[in-house]
Amino acid sequence: MRGIKTTTSSILALGLLAGSTVGVAAQDEADPMAASTFTTQLVSEPEVTLDPGTRTTIVVSEWESSDPRASGTRTEVVGGSLVPEDESRGQVQRNAVRIVNEGGSWVGSHRGFLTFPDDGPPTVQFLSELVGEGGYEGLSLFHATTGNAGEVREIGVIWPTDEVPAIPDLPAE
């Protein structure tokens, strides 16, 4: 039953994403290592499969972005719920992600939550943090998915990894 709920939530999240649009912020064509902002959208229905051995949900989808470096085939392994599942309230997910295109690839995590409130539309809030490989080595990609059903925004930034600030230590107690 848990696999079915995770799959259902993953499909709902991807359905919410399908309504987003591609924007116009593009990368500097002269410098493949330049920072940029972008918007992105799901191109077609994702392929959702269940690994028979692990019962893990795998989602493969095609994405188009205003920065071609963020476009490509996106594969996600859905980590499922980290809190008790109650589809009428929400779900927390932590997913492994890989985006591949002709220029290179991005690998990292996609984590966030879905809500299904009684008094409003479903919402989705996710953040991806990926590092570049191949032609994108030395870059990081941050991507946010946020919004309500029918009004989801897909935005992001590509940034030189050596310019991404480290997470600071908390002060001593």
Residue 79 included in any domain: yes
Residue 168 included in any domain: no
**Structure tokens that stand for 11 in this block:** 């499909």
> From the CB of residue 47, how many other CB atoms can be counted at a distance below 10 Å?
11
Residue 171 included in any domain: no
Number of domains in the chain: 1
Rounded Cα distance between 70 and 84, Å, is 33
Residue 52 included in any domain: yes
CA dihedral sign, ordered 4, 110, 93, 53: positive
pLDDT band at 15 (very low <50, low <70, confident <90, very high): very low
pLDDT at 88: 63
Residue 173 included in any domain: no
> Structure pTM?
0.78
**Is the predicted pLDDT of residue 22 greater than 80, yes or no?**
no
Rounded Cα distance between 159 and 161, Å, is 6
Q: For the segment 67-122, what is each residue's pLDDT rounded down to a tens digit?
A: 999 999 999 999 875 455 555 678 888 999 999 999 999 999 999 998 888 888 88
Residue 49 included in any domain: yes
Q: Are 1 and 119 in contact (CB under 8 A)?
A: no
Residue 170 included in any domain: no
Helix (H, G, I), strand (E, B) or coil at 22: coil
How many CA atoms does the CB half-sphere of 17 hold within 13 Å?
26
Helix (H, G, I), strand (E, B) or coil at 16: helix
The string of DSSP codes covering 58-116 is: EEEEEEEESSGGG-EEEEEE----SS--BTTTEEEEEEEEEEEETTEEEEEEEEEEEE-
Structural domain containing residue 80: 2-163
**Structure tokens that stand for 103 in this block:** 């220029």
Higher confidence at residue 52 or residue 38? 38
Residue 96 included in any domain: yes
| CATH assignment at residue 117 | 2.40.350
